[in-house]
Amino acid sequence: MKKSKKLIIGSLIAITLGTVGALAAGGFEHRWGHNGDRANMMAERMMKHATEALDLTQEQQAYLEILQQKMIALKTDGMKGKFETRKEVMEQLSQPTLDQAYILNMVQERLRSAEQKAPELIAALAQFSDSLTSEQKNAIKEKIEEHHKHRKDHH
**Chain segment 7-24, per-residue pLDDT in tens:** 566 555 656 655 555 554
Q: Where are the alpha helices (DSSP H) in the chain?
A: 3-24, 36-54, 58-80, 82-93, 100-131, 134-154
3-state secondary structure of 109: helix
The more confident residue out of 65 and 114 is 65
How many domains does the chain divide into? 1
Domain range enclosing 12: 3-154
What confidence score (pLDDT) does residue 27 get?
38
Radius of gyration of the chain (CA): 18
Q: How far is CA 118 from CA 8, 44, 60, 72, in A?
A: 10, 23, 21, 13
Which residue, 57, 48, 55, 46, is CA-closest to 21?
46
**Chain segment 80-111, per-residue pLDDT in tens:** 777 888 888 889 899 999 999 998 998 888 88
What confidence score (pLDDT) does residue 29 get?
40
**Chain segment 26-47, per-residue pLDDT in tens:** 433 444 444 556 767 777 887 8
pTM listed for this prediction: 0.65
Average pLDDT, the chain: 78
